[in-house]
Structure 1
Amino acid sequence: MAEKVNITAGRVAEFKCPQGKSQDFLRDLKSPWLAVRVTASGAKSFVFEAKLNGRGIREVIGSTSAWTIDAARQVANEKKTLVDRGADPRQLRRDAVKAEEAKEAEQQQRALRVADVWPIYLKEGKPRRKEKWKPRYAADLEKAAASGGEKKKRGEGVTKPGPLFPLMERRLAELDQDVIRDWYALERKRGATQAARALAMFAGFLSWCSTRREYRGLVDRDAAKASELQDMLPAKKVRTDALEVAQLPAWFKAIEELRNRTAAAYLVALLLTGARREEMAAIKRVGDVDWRWDRLTLPDKVGTTRTIPLAPHLKSLFKSIPEVPGNPFLFALPGTTDKRISDPRSAHATVLKAAEIGHCTIHGLRRSFALFAEAAGAPAGAIAQIMGHRPSAVSDRYKPRSVDMLRPYLAQIEAFILETGGVRSNRKPTSESAPNGVVVPLTRAVGRR
């Protein structure tokens, strides 16, 4: 080891790396654990040298151009004190860097806004036991958080911000029941039902965040479920709107007079199958309708899809729907290649007005099917399976019926609805016995005369 010298500025300036060596050291006499290291390239730095547990350690203090000699000596002395206590200054420095990085990462995490995480939720979040969001609900999630200001697709003006938009700029860490309560109090003035649905959406978002390691410590999972907040929600109304048996003839007569024949067929299809509106609208002419084996595959809310029989009248009705070139949907919009019927409410309002029938929603047609199916004598398990309901009893849960086993029941239900509504069938006027022994009246002719 080279002889120690009193390091001065002049000696540092004159110190050079010998030819053929990669580095050399100028060690200090005043602070024996301080040295100047010079490399073959001429770079010079102050370094700390000592022995810890019998092994030499070395750590760079800093460049000689940035540090004074006295400051380097002071740091070297402090590090020697740590070594004398059995601590490794290198490890302490690494620990300090990690702590600082962790602190910075925590600050960045705590600065995360709902808007930063919401797109990830839309992409990766999903209901339990499902592969992904249903398209309609995914669109509702996007719309609820939208900033608005876009030109309306229908009518004049621009869209309004979604009910969840005020929460998008909030930090996850500040979302508590007070913040959610104040937001909801304002939103329900715009619309109580819409605000309540948005609250349920946001509760799902918070629950999802609580399952993710990176967000778990930032959110209060129950912030949107506080008892005080639940007391502010509107009372849930059980909808019971449905067509009555006596109203069926007038309803079918008004359907026959509806100018939009695609909408007319769509409304009849809802009544004859009990399908949800989006399930029926999503049907594609090729693939979903099995014309040979009389089967109909529907997207399902409970499962991925469900397949039901294609009853005779409905099959005839489907065949009467004009095909839109290049558009795969059965209920396609004319002049489009990828659009389908989306809002049949105006068409149904026209039907209800012409038939002089009071309030009945599109979903009310689904309730109507359930009521008429029961009146037709079909078993509850078969009705639930056709409609895509979860089994309501253990016995039904463990005996799912095949499509062919459902076929007589759906034919029975269709015949009851059409016969009651005064609609004729193109089948021969014979009768057949249903699986439960009930004699099923058959329809008279397609269309009303």
Structure 2
Amino acid sequence: MTKICVDRNSPKSGKSGYMVATWIGAKMARARRDAPVELDKAIDLTAGAIERLVCPTDKQQVFLRDAKAPGLRVRVTAGAKSFVFEAKLRRQTIRRTIGDVRAWTIERARVEANRLRVLIDAGQDPRELERQEEHERTARAATAKAEVVTFGEAWTEYVTRGKPKKKAAWKPRYLADMQKMASRGGEAKKRGKGLTLPGPIAPLLDTRLKDITPRALRGWHSKEAVRGAAQAARAVQIVSGFLRWCSTEDAFEGFVDPLAARDPRVQDHLPSASGNRRTDALEEGQLAAWFEGIGTLRNRTAAVYLQGLLLTGARREELAALKWSDVDFRWKKLTIADKVGDTRTLPLTPYLSSIMRDLPRIEGNGFVFASPGAKSGRIADPRAAHASVLEHGGIGHVTLHGLRRTFALMGEQAGCPAGAIAQVMGHRPGSMSERYKPRTMDQLRPYLERLEIFVLDKGGVPFVPDSKLGKLRAVA
């Protein structure tokens, strides 16, 4: 291309308007759009050079160096182009990505490269500085979260995910206890009139986790103990497990002292476990009156359930959850959910088998002790029925768990081995010798039948098996 330059200020132009034209035959060199970019030397980066830069098919990446900012490169791969910084620090190559060429201008990239160059010259590793900054940002975020996260927010996560070790999930009864403990109250009572009261853990729900200290727990426990010492003590133990769980979770780690509830100044205010251990149970001489009271119950499901607790030593929820699919009348055994393990299998004794056979089966309801009116579909709270039995027999207060203790006491009086009774009840082995000789169903059956005969004899309940029909019946 030829360019004509006219010098209008030249004195030769004069008033007559003469112009001097200088012909410059300089030919402008402009690379074609498809011209390759030389990579073996640094160039003054331009948008056009970056646009023409392509990665050869036989390489994963190539770099184009900038002549103005030492250390600035354009890295191109098969799918992207980005600005990078590269330099050596203590004989080690340091390479940091600055950003995509579409987001960064060349001048901004040069400024950033120069900043990194200053750090390298000062002997500082940009990567280490970035890690420190990230750590500080994480710490600041954690500190900010600790300022606002509450006991209730973490508690919701605990109830959902904080299952015990080696267990698939919370046991239903324990989960129900935790939910009741943390209930805010104010709901209509299921029995009687009025509204429910807040649970003992409820006052902690709106407290920040960082404020759950031994001092705070002492004040909380002293107030809750006025309402009920036993419930307050149980709440402390549940909170203790919750705090330990928080310390193992990334989301709450460092927010709270995991041993706050185990502080001696808290534990010293709890009632003695041995001094509050319940020992209620039926005495041998009370069995006749108890069975007489069972005969007065109009609810036969409750009557059979209560006798089942006495004759199996099962926990109340274990037996309440029993389904017909868990009962094997042919091989005389039943399988129940276990508190220690997943399940345990018990021999089905003659008398218990006979009264269970007479229970009605409700279509669509697989529970043995079915209760169509209950939300769960099974017997939920038989305490009123048991209170009626005790009142009729003139017997003092005996809890449903007291029937489980009665089973253990009657088994001892009937001459059954302690290990056999413990295995039926689902207790952990009490000694090394018992631990290594679990009994089979056929080995347990004679002991459990001996115990049943002993209880029925002391309770004045005559019973003989009906061998002709292949089933059992109770004799009045």
TM-score (norm 1): 0.78
Q: Match for residue 151 of structure 1?
A: 188
1:284 to 306, 312, 323: 323
Partner of 2:364: 326
* One-letter amino acid matched to 2:142: E
Among 228, 249, 253, the alignment partner of 2:292 is: 253
Pick closer, same or farther for the CA change 1:49–1:423 going to 2, 3 Å. closer
Secondary structure of the residue aligned to 2:197 is coil
Q: 1:80 to 1:197 in 2, by over 3 A?
A: same
Q: Does 1:166 align with 2:194?
A: no
Contact 2:374 2:380 in 1 (8 A): no
> Aligned to 2:395, what secondary structure does the other structure show?
coil
Deviation string, structure 1 residues 420-448 (Cα, Å, up to 9, x no partner): 1111113379xxxxxxxxxxxxxx97153
By how many angstroms is 1:239 displaced?
A: 1.6
Following superposition, the deviation at residue 350 of structure 1 comes to 0.7
Greater Cα shift, 112-121 or 390-399: 112-121
TM-score after normalising by structure 2 = 0.73
Residue in structure 1 matched with residue 338 of structure 2 by the alignment: 300
Counterparts of 1:181-200 in structure 2, within 5 Å, are 181-200=218-237
Whole-Å separation in 2 of the counterparts to 1:125 and 1:406: 36
Deviations 1:309-360 (A, max 9, x none): 1000000010111222221111111456841111111111111111111121
8 Å CA contact 1:327, 1:337 repeated in 2: no
Question: Which amino acid in structure 1 is aligned with residue 130 of structure 2?
Answer: R
Q: Residue deviations 1:58-94, cap 9 Å, x none? A: 9979xxxxxxx9xx99999876654432335x54763
Q: 1:296 to 1:80 in 2, by over 3 A?
A: closer
Per-residue CA deviation, residues 19-71 of structure 1 (Å, 9 max, x unaligned), is 67649xxx9xxxx869xxxxxxxxxxxx999976699999979xxxxxxx9xx
Identical positions, percent: 48
What CA distance in whole angstroms lies between the structure 1 residues aligned with 2:269 and 2:293? 42
> Equivalent residue for 1:390?
428
CA distances 1:193-236 after superposition (whole Å, capped 9, x unpaired) = 11111111011112222334554433322110111111211233
Q: How many angstroms apart in 1 are the aligned matches of 2:295 and 2:144?
A: 63
Q: Structure 1: how far apart are the matches of 2:284 and 2:128?
A: 83
* Residues 347 and 17 of structure 1, relative CA distance in 2, 3 Å threshold: same
Count of equivalent residues: 402
* 2:450 is equivalent to residue 412 of structure 1: yes
Aligned AA (1:276): R
- 1:328–1:337 CA contact under 8 A, matched in 2: no
Matches within 5 A, 1:332-343: 332-335=370-373, 338-343=376-381
Alignment of 1:92-131 (within 5 A): 94-95=130-131, 97-111=133-147, 112-131=149-168
**2:154/2:252 contact within 8 Å kept:** no
8 Å Cα contact 1:327-1:338 kept in structure 2: no
Q: Decide which structure has the larger Cα Rg and report it.
A: 2
1:50/1:160 Cα in 2 relative to 1: closer, same or farther (>3 Å)?
same
Structure 2 counterpart of 1:141: 178
Residue 238 in structure 1 maps to residue 277 in structure 2? yes
Matching of residue 369 in structure 1 with residue 443 in structure 2? no
Give CA-to-partner distance per residue, 1:149-169, whole Å, 9 cap, x none. Answer: 333333333332221122222
- Contact 1:52–1:86 (Cα < 8 Å) also in 2: no
Q: Aligned Cα RMSD in Å?
A: 3.9
Distance 1:57 1:213, change over 3 A: closer
Partner of 2:19: none
Letter in 2 for 1:345: R
Counterparts of 2:456 and 2:96, CA distance in 1: 93
